[in-house]
């Protein structure tokens, strides 16, 4: 009976160690994609705040940061970008929104419209691919 308890306890410990290792491996695998999304959300939130405060320079800087995030997005999702035409179209819509908003961001003609284009491009992709 004592041997059975020792084997059962040892099996539980080994199972817990294996589960922890597998969980870490899976979470590290998606670390870059999550980081890109979190950073993009941070810059989008800052762009929204800048648009509300009518801070032209800050909005322009956040737009540039989001442009860099777009480049990271392509690297974070290479299979989806390379093989899924709809994902690529949605990602490129973000790039277009960032580029088209350049003039509006620099002269602050309509900062809300600038941010809305970018936000809508993000939302369109998230509706299709998030969770």
The CATH code for residues 31-129 is 1.20.120
pLDDT of amino acid 104? 46
pLDDT of amino acid 106? 54
CB 99 within 8 A of CB 55: no
111-129 vs 31-52: helix axis angle to the nearest 10?
150
Maximal CA-CA distance, the chain: 80
Q: Going residue by residue through the chain (131 aa), what tens digit of pLDDT does each one get?
A: 788 888 888 888 888 887 877 777 665 567 878 888 899 999 999 999 999 998 988 998 999 999 999 998 888 888 888 898 998 999 999 999 888 654 544 557 788 888 999 999 999 888 887 75
Q: Environment class of residue 66 by beta-carbon count within 10 Å: exposed (0-12), middle (13-18) or buried (19+)?
A: buried
E strand or H helix at 34? helix 31-52
Domain boundaries, the chain: 31-129
**Cα–Cα nearest to 42, from 13, 68, 21, 12:** 68
CB 65 within 8 A of CB 43: yes
pLDDT of amino acid 99? 81
Cα 56–Cα 103–Cα 38 angle in degrees, nearest 5: 65
pLDDT of amino acid 105? 43
């Amino acid at each position: 009976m004592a041997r059975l308890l020792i084997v059962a306890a040892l099996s539980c410990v080994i199972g817990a160690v294996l589960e922890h290792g597998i969980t870490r491996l899976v979470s590290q695998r998606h670390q870059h994609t999550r980081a890109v999304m979190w950073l993009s959300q941070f810059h989008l939130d800052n762009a929204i705040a800048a648009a509300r405060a009518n801070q032209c320079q800050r909005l322009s800087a956040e737009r540039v940061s989001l442009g860099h995030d777009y480049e990271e997005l392509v690297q974070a999702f290479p299979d989806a970008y390379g093989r899924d035409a709809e994902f690529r179209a949605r990602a490129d819509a973000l790039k277009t929104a960032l580029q088209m908003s350049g003039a509006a961001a620099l002269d602050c003609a309509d900062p809300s419209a600038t941010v809305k284009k970018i936000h809508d491009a993000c939302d369109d992709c998230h509706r299709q691919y998030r969770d």
